[in-house]
Structure 1
Amino acid sequence: MMYGVLYQPSRPWRHLYKTARWQRLREHQLATEPLCRMCLVTEDVTAAEVADHVIPHKGDDELFHDASNLQSLCKHHHDSAKQMIEHGKSVVTYGVDGYPIELG
C-alpha cells in the first residue's frame, strides 16, 4: 500500500497539521513574524511560508500547539538548513560582512 505525503506510518501526528486549531496558530505565527528568521540573519528579506517548530514536537500535543515553540521560515530553509540542524549537522552561512554565521 502506498501512503500519501501527509501520512507516514513513522509520523502518526501528521493529522495535527490539518486541524483548524493548527491552521489558526500557523496563520497567527506567519502574521506576527512574516519574514524568514534564518534569512534575516544574513539581512536577506524573504517572506516566510512555514510555521516551524523550533523544538521538534514528535507528536507531543502540548509542544505542537505551543506558540512560543514556533518560528517562521521560508520553504528553502525549512527543507534544508532546519532539517540538517535537526539531524545534528552544523549549518554555516555568511553574513553581509563576509564572516561566517552558524545557524541553529
Structure 2
Amino acid sequence: MPSRLASVQAGSWRTGDQSSTARGYGYRWQQYRLRFLSAHPLCAMCEAEGRVTAATVVDHIRPHRGDQALFWDRTNHQALCATHHSRDKQREEQSNGR
C-alpha cells in the first residue's frame, strides 16, 4: 500500500530529485523569508481565528508549482505558523484539487 505522502505527492511539481535550492528555496529565498517574517511576524490564519501566534513560514497563497513569476509574486505570500502551514493549508490545497 503506498504511503500517504507518496499519494499526496503524486503529480506534484515537488516529485523528482530536485533539491529545495533547485526549486527556488536557496539563499535569495532565505533572505527574502527573513525580511518578510520581520515585516509580518504573526500567523495570518491564527489572527483570523483571534489568536496571536508567531509566524515561521512564508506560504504561497496560490501554489506556484515551479512558476517563478508566481513564486516571487509578493501578493501571493502570507505569514503562517508551522501548524497552519503543515496541516490546515495542506488540507485546503488537497480539497481544492491543487
- What TM-score comes out, normalization by structure 1 length? 0.70
- Taking the TM superposition and a 5 Å limit, the aligned residue runs for 1:1-104 are 8-9=15-16, 12=18, 14-15=20-21, 16-17=24-25, 19-88=26-95
Name the amino acid aligned to 1:81.
D
Greater percentage in strand: 1
Which letter does structure 2 place at the counterpart of 1:21? R
* 1:37 positional shift: 0.4
Structure 1 stretches lacking a partner, 5+ long = 1-6, 90-104
Secondary structure of residue in 2 paired with 1:58: coil
Runs of 4+ in 1 over 4 A off after TM superposition: none
Q: Alpha carbon RMSD of aligned pairs, Å?
A: 1.9
Q: Over residues 25-56 of structure 1, what are the superposed CA-to-partner deviations in whole Å (9 max), with x where a residue is unaligned?
A: 21121111100000001211000000000010
**Deviation at residue 14 of structure 1 after TM alignment:** 2.8
Long gaps (5+) in structure 2 = 1-13
Do 1:35 and 1:48's aligned partners in 2 also have CA atoms closer than 8 Å?
Answer: yes
Larger-gyration structure (1/2): 1
